[in-house]
Amino acid sequence: MKVLVIGGGAREHALCRSLSLDPDVTALHCAPGNAGIAEVAELHRVDALDGRAVADLAQRLAADLVVVGPEAPLVAGVADAVRDRGIPVFGPSAEAAQLEGSKAFAKDVMAAANVPTARAYLCTDEREVDEALDAFGPPYVVKDDGLAAGKGVVVTEDLPTARAHALACVGTPGGPAGATGRVVIEEFLDGPEVSLFAVTDGETVLPLQPAQDFKRALDADEGPNTGGMGAYSPLPWADPKLVDEVLATVLQPTVDELRRRGTPFSGLLYAGLAITSRGVRVIEFNARFGDPETQVVLARLKTPLAGLLHAAATGTLAAFPPLRWSDGAAVTVVIASHNYPGTPRTGDPIEGLADVADQDEHAYVLHAGTKLGESGEVLSAGGRVLSVTATGPDLSAARDRAYRGVARIRLDGAHHRTDIAAKAASAES
C-alpha cells in the first residue's frame, strides 16, 4: 500500500512511524513533514491546506491511502478534494469536520443525539455574554467558536478576564484573528479529563485505548492552556467499563446523528471527556487524532495501522478484526520552545537527538516543530518542538525512560513539564 500523510507535527511523525513499521506499506510519503518524519517518509513541499495540490500529489504518487493529520486541512475540505478523485482518504469531509471547527455545531449535534455535555449558551453580543456569565457564575468557561489550536478556551475565576475574552470573540475591536463573532459560554466541568479516540467509517465505530493529556503549560496544571504538554496510556485509575460506556452514550450516537444528517463522519473521532461526579461529559470533539495523545496510543497499538485506516476510508470497518493492544504503558513528554504557548522563539539548534534511542531502545523522539538547517543540523521551528515517547511494562517504567530521554536533549530556552503521568504512575503501585 502506498500511503501519503498530510501534516508535519509530532502526531504525523507518530502516524508515519507506525505506518513505516507496517509490512503492508510499500511506500510512505508526507507533506510537508518535518526533520524527523524525513527519516521514515519521502517529503513533499505541498501546502497542506490546498486541497487541489494535495489531490494532485496523491494522484501523481498513485497513493492507495491519504491520511489527513491536522484539523485545518480537514475543515478546509482537503479530504473532500482527495475523495473526489476516487482515492481512499482517512479524514472527514469539511461538513463533518465542523464537529471540531465549530463549537456551536458540536453542541447542536450533541443535543440532537442526546450526548451528555456541559450546558452552554451561544452568545453574539455583550448583553448575551453578560447574561450567560451571570447564569453560570465562576469558574467561567469561555470558548471561541472557531478553530484555535487548543488555545481559544479561557477557564477563569476572574469575571473581568472571562468577560474580556468573550467580548473579544464577539467582535469587539481588538478581537482575535479569525473571530467568528460568536462565543460559547458554558458550565464548568469538574473531574479528570480523558481523551478517547475512535476510528469510524461513518457507521461502524472502533474505539482506541484511552489516554490523558496535560493541557496546561506548567507543572501542577498551572499556567495557560497549550495544545498539550504530554500524555500517557493506559489510565489505571479509570473504570474498565469507561470505553464501552462512551461508545454507547457518546461515540456511536454522534456518528449515527451525522449520518442521519447526510454528512457522515469517517476518520478519527476524538472525544475530550470530563469524568465528573455526575458522570461522563463531553468537553469537546475533535475531527482528527489528538496531539500528543496519539504518540502514546499508537505506541500501544499492535494492529498494523495502514489496514485499519484503509478500512475506515473504504467503509469496511464492520469486517475488521478486533484491535490488538500491548498490555504495557506509554508516556510522552513534550519539549516546547522558549515562550510557548506565546509567540515561540525558533531557529535554535537541537542537540542530543541521537542519544535518546542510543541509550534505550524503548524510547524515541517524535519531531513536531523542527527543520533542517543549511548544514543538516536540526533546528527548532515551532512552539511544540518535539516529544520524547517511551514504552514500558508499566507507567513508572515508561515515565522513567521518557524523562531519561528528555534529559539528553539540549535546546536553549526550552521547557517541559516534569509531572507527566506522575500521579497515575504512583497510583499504579
Q: Which residues contact ligand AMP (rule: CB under 6 A)?
A: 118, 141, 143, 150, 153, 155, 186-189, 193, 215, 225, 272, 283-284
Backbone angles phi, psi at 371, to 5 degrees: -150, 165
- Per CB under 6 A, the segment of 31-39, 275-283, 288-296, 371-379 that binds ligand GLY is 288-296
By beta-carbon proximity to ligand AMP, the closer residue of 254 and 391 is 254
Question: 267-286: which residues touch ligand GLY (CB under 6 A)?
Answer: 286
- Rounded to a whole number of angstroms, the minimum distance from the CB of residue 193 to ligand AMP is 6
By beta-carbon proximity to ligand AMP, the closer residue of 31 and 184 is 184
Per rule CB under 6 A, is residue 117 in the interface with ligand GLY? Answer: no
Using CB under 6 A, count the residues that bind ligand GLY.
Answer: 8
Q: Binding partner of residue 299 among ligand AMP, ligand GLY, none, CB under 5 to 8 Å per kind?
A: none
Among 147, 198, 293, 332, binds ligand GLY (CB under 6 A): 293
The residue with cell 522513567 is: 400
CB 12 within 8 A of CB 35: no
The grid coordinates of residue 415 equal 521547557
The grid coordinates of residue 9 equal 507535527
Among 150, 202, 341, 392, binds ligand GLY (CB under 6 A): 150
The grid coordinates of residue 391 equal 514504552
Helix, strand, coil share of the chain (percent; to 5): 35, 25, 40
- Per CB under 6 A, the segment of 27-35, 289-297, 328-336, 417-425 that binds ligand GLY is 289-297
- Name residue 111's amino acid: A
| Beta strand pairing call for 89-90 and 65-68 | parallel
By beta-carbon proximity to ligand GLY, the closer residue of 257 and 293 is 293
By beta-carbon proximity to ligand AMP, the closer residue of 188 and 325 is 188
Among 225, 291, 297, 308, binds ligand GLY (CB under 6 A): 291
Q: Binding partner of residue 290 among ligand AMP, ligand GLY, none, CB under 5 to 8 Å per kind?
A: ligand GLY
CB 125 within 8 A of CB 182: no
Distance between CA atoms of 92 and 97, rounded to whole angstroms?
6
Burial degree of 134 (CB within 10 A; 0-12, 13-18, 19+): exposed
Helix spans in 194-303 (H) = 242-246, 252-260, 293-300
CB 390 within 8 A of CB 326: no
Per rule CB under 6 A, is residue 230 in the interface with ligand GLY? Answer: no
Per rule CB under 6 A, is residue 257 in the interface with ligand GLY? Answer: no
Per rule CB under 6 A, is residue 369 in the interface with ligand GLY? Answer: no
Among 228, 264, 341, 405, binds ligand GLY (CB under 6 A): 228
Beta strand residue intervals within 82-130, DSSP E: 89-90, 120-123
Backbone angles phi, psi at 140, to 5 degrees: -90, 140
- Rounded to a whole number of angstroms, the minimum distance from the CB of residue 202 to ligand AMP is 24
- Rounded to a whole number of angstroms, the minimum distance from the CB of residue 225 to ligand AMP is 5
| Beta strand pairing call for 193-200 and 140-144 | unpaired
Contacting positions for ligand GLY (CB under 6 A)? 150, 213, 227-228, 286, 290-291, 293
